[in-house]
Amino acid sequence: MEKFDLSDSVNLLIVDDNSIDRELIRRMVSRSSMQANIFEASSLEDSMSCLEKKEFDCIIVDYRLGISSGLTLLSNIRKSVNHHCAVIMVTGLGDENIAAEAMRLGASDYLLKDKLKSTQLLHSISSSIQRATLEKNLHNMAHYDSLTGLASRPTLLEQLSNAIASGQTLAVAYLDLDNFKPINDKYGHEIGDFVLTTIANRLKLIARKEDTLARIGGDEFVLLLKGSLHTNQEYEDLLQNVLIEINDPILLKEYACSVQASASIGVALTNDAGLSCDDILRRADQTMYQAKTLGTNKVLFYDPEEESRRHAKHTLLMAAEKGIARNEFILHYQPKVDMTDQRLIGVEALIRWNHPTLGLLYPADFSDALEHPCIGILMGEWVLCEALKQHEIWQNTQLAMSVNISPAHLLSEGFVENLNDLLLSTHSMGSKTLELEILESTTIGNIDQAVDVLEGCRNLGVNIALDDFGTGYASLSYLKKLPLDTLKIDKSFIKKLLSDGEDRSIVTCIVALSQAFGYNLIAEGVESLEHEQVLIDMGCRLGQGYYIAKPMSADSMTAWIQNMVKKPIH
């Protein structure tokens, strides 16, 4: 911590309208061991002019400055001088009220001229500067980042609060480095600090005088952009220059190499009445995280509609989690048949949500919950358990039970082991009666891990189907890598099968692929007798769709199974 010593050189300003008194103080200081650069002013106006040009460690102010008062100067110093300096007031009056007022306005000491001695003055200067230095250090610790010298969170909030109170419109740019952690991990914290200070110094160079630049976290910075900028494009142009500065490689001499950083920036404007500092920072922070999802070096502006969607998603996820505990979810079942003889071969379990206020919801209405890495897994486990329980009730029918599995659930820890326990508890082992359906239109992040998990499932006697086949971008890759038993032709191709030559050609190719790989093939979305006949002629015998039967409750499915053995489906 910075500490004052008598041997340090100090800048001293003597303010007195009496030249003899000024000379007396000058001599006392000059004849001492104190190293001082002494400046003089004879009026309030002269002293303020000096303060605008130079920083002083100590100011000695006479109470009487012509028609003005030293108290006025003292007040002006504390209001306008942006650094901490010691102020000593001297006066020929021994008025305790004046002394009290001087101390209230921030005077470091109060001395009487007629009793002033050299040792007393020097001690006062020394102790006052020492105290001012301590106050400065404490102020800096609270208001400035110790590593970079940038403003800290309290200063940022103060500046932002003042801007909001004055009705200014400004942009809050929340900046986070994209790849700082690997640099820190590889080269150590000392190099990490060097990278941060280098970037901070670059930001100082590009920030304008009226802007506020703060560091509020490990590799997080905030820019308050004020003044002449008004449009999103103007802010964008400035922040693109910020990214260019950050991207410039940083030389590490110790390692004879360079590292390169990038950043994501979220921007929020203070143009909405009633917003607090925390509201605006939260908006900028959330927008920054959205920018990260778009890749590196992105600048993204806050979108109120996006926040509404995010809020609705959060509300949905919370409701879904509670809905699992409250048994609000149910399963409906849709038959799969061999269309050549109308023989029932299996059913697909489809989740539904009996929402307490919105009524019956379908998977498309709560897809965010189904795909969530935590809540989606809970829902997937519930579906598997419920479907196998129902299958146990129908076990004499030898039906295959199909269940949709999300990538997050499939790749969750212990999936195969948990599935094994569930199959044992429901007496479904080795019967080939469970089929897991994977959406081909959904990206599987770790394909190698997925292969291992699916192989483990097949070892348990579970079949694997690729659902919505033909709608994604990884069809051939999935066919080559994944251990599959069944392909399901997406209903979008079946819908126009009778009228669209291209869709008919696609289905023909899928039939050929399934035969080449030795997969079972089933068509979704069979809506008419004509669909059935064309598909059979093309080589696809298995189907499901509204023409065969709509999804139905477990009780209705039980009745449907019982009725179909007595009469044809159509």
153-302 and 9-142 share a CATH fold:
no
Structure tokens belonging to residue 172: 């809050």
Long-range interactions of 25-33: CB distance < 8 A, separation 24+ = 25/60, 25/90, 25/121, 28/116, 28/118, 28/121, 28/122, 29/121, 29/122, 29/125, 31/118, 32/118, 32/122, 33/6, 33/7
pLDDT for 565 equals 62
Q: What's the rounded Cα separation, in Å, for the pair 336 and 540?
A: 13
pLDDT for 1 equals 44
Question: Is 4 within 8 Å of 84 (Cβ atoms)?
Answer: no
What single string gives the DSSP state of each residue in 154-181? HHHHHHHHHHHHTT---EEEEEEESSHH
Question: Is 406 within 8 Å of 380 (Cβ atoms)?
Answer: yes
Question: Is 445 within 8 Å of 410 (Cβ atoms)?
Answer: no
Structure tokens belonging to residue 163: 């801007």
Structure tokens belonging to residue 36: 């001082």
Q: What's the rounded Cα separation, in Å, for the pair 345 and 359?
A: 32
Long-range interactions of 183-191: CB distance < 8 A, separation 24+ = 183/259, 183/261, 187/252, 187/255, 187/259, 191/252, 191/254, 191/255
The residue ranges of DSSP E strands in 359-409, in sequence order, are 359-361, 400-404
Give the angle subtended at the CA of 31 by the CAs of 25 and 33, to the nearest 5°: 115
Question: Is 394 within 8 Å of 558 (Cβ atoms)?
Answer: yes
Going 99 to 103 to 105 to 109, the CA torsion angle's sign is: positive
Who's near 501: CB < 8 A, 6+ residues apart?
none
Task: Give the burial class of 135: count Cβ atoms within 10 A of its Cβ; 0-12 exposed, 13-18 middle, 19 or more buried.
Answer: middle
Q: What's the rounded Cα separation, in Å, for the pair 31 and 316?
A: 79
What is the domain partition of the chain in residue ranges? 9-142, 153-302, 330-551
Question: Is 249 within 8 Å of 238 (Cβ atoms)?
Answer: no
Task: Specify the pTM.
Answer: 0.61
Residue 149 is classified by DSSP as -
Structure tokens belonging to residue 354: 């009996």
pLDDT for 228 equals 66
Fold classification of 153-302 is Alpha-Beta Plaits (3.30.70)
Who's near 424: CB < 8 A, 6+ residues apart?
none
Residues of the chain with pLDDT under 50: 1-4, 569-570
The residue ranges of DSSP E strands in 363-504, in sequence order, are 400-404, 434-439, 463-469, 486-489
pLDDT for 472 equals 65
Give the angle subtended at the CA of 418 by the CAs of 414 and 422, to the nearest 5°: 170
Element (H, E) at 448: helix 447-459
Fold classification of 9-142 is Rossmann fold (3.40.50)
**Token match 């000491």: residue?**
109
Facing residues of 267 across strands? 173, 301
Class at the top of the CATH hierarchy for domain 330-551: alpha beta
Structure tokens belonging to residue 50: 């000096």
